[in-house]
């Protein structure tokens, strides 16, 4: 007789999430926050997305290659019951042993002096994982944030791809334009916000971009699921 897992009737994306969770729970020596993240139960597929808390976050990095570049700052803000909890927003610089190139400093406005007394990457990631436990991870361009998180986890624990539910505003923008047969290929955060009538914010600041991403995600979901509240099963790949 074939043994069925309790989640065997759930969408494929959530079944994969459960399996990743099981693999991570078998590892010893995880940090307290990471352990809490992997031990947090995966919610059922029919959980309304608006009823489950989000954490919108953003990294500013010294480059796009996670093998060589470093995280310079992390900004995050919770979204609870469709409200952006600005009073709980946080922004952290991250100490880096690598020199900051001039172009990076111009783009991010982060200088070496800002990082002198900043926490190291372990402390910064522990802070992120602590807040991410039990939340949907809301980002613009999952490939960047997930790549740096996976690189960190591979280095520390020899395994990547933690059990995180992602909501990617860049991918939602791409899907919307494809359905609308919109030929524009500009999926920048500011461009997608402009098309939905959202105000412009200062770009390339981790906290500002996190808030901008949270607002964009709510607007995109309102357009995509008109009159039908989306569930977690609708967004998990």
**Cα–Cα dist 156/169, whole Å:** 29
User: 71-80 in b/e burial notation, b at 16+ Cβ within 10 A?
Assistant: bbbbbbbbbe
pLDDT for 140 equals: 97
Tell me the pLDDT tens digit for each residue of 44-94: 999 999 999 999 999 999 888 999 899 999 999 999 999 999 999 999 999
pLDDT for 102 equals: 62
Give percent above pLDDT 90 in the chain: 70
Please, which residues have CB within 8 angstroms of residue 93's CB and are 6 or more apart in sequence? 72, 73, 110, 114, 115, 118, 119
State the SS3 of 91-153: EEECCCCCCCCHHHHHHHCCCHHHHCCCCCHHHHHHHHHHHHCCCEEEECCHHHHHHHHHHHH
pLDDT for 105 equals: 60
pLDDT for 108 equals: 72
Q: Which two tokens stand for residue 62?
A: 């010294």
Q: Is 3 exposed, middle or buried (0-12, 13-18, 19+ CB in 10 A)?
A: exposed
Question: Residues in the chain with pLDDT < 70?
Answer: 1-9, 97-107, 179-184
The domains found in the chain, sorted by start residue, are 12-235 (3.30.420.10)
Phi, psi at residue 168, to the nearest 5°? -110, 115
């Amino acid at each position: 007789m074939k043994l069925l897992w309790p989640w065997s009737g759930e969408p494929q994306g959530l079944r994969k999430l459960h399996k990743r969770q099981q693999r991570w729970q078998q590892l010893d020596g995880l940090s307290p926050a990471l352990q809490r993240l992997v031990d947090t139960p995966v919610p059922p597929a029919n959980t309304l997305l608006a009823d489950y808390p989000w954490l919108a976050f953003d990294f500013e990095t010294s480059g796009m290659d996670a093998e060589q570049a470093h995280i310079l700052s992390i900004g995050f803000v919770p979204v609870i019951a469709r409200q952006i909890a600005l009073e709980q927003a946080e922004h952290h610089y991250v100490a880096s042993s690598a020199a900051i190139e001039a172009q990076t400093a111009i783009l991010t406005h982060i200088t070496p002096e800002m990082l002198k007394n900043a926490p190291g990457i372990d402390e910064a990631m522990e802070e992120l994982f602590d807040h991410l436990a039990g939340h949907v991870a809301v980002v613009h361009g999952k490939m960047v944030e997930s790549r740096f998180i996976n690189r960190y986890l591979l280095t520390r624990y020899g395994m990547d791809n933690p059990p995180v539910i992602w909501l990617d505003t860049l991918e939602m923008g791409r899907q919307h334009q494809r359905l609308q047969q919109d030929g524009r290929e500009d999926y920048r955060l500011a461009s997608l916000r402009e098309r939905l009538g959202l105000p412009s914010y200062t770009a390339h600041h981790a906290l500002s971009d996190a808030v901008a991403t949270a607002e964009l995600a709510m607007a995109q979901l309102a357009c995509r699921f008109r009159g039908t509240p989306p569930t977690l099963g609708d967004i998990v790949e």
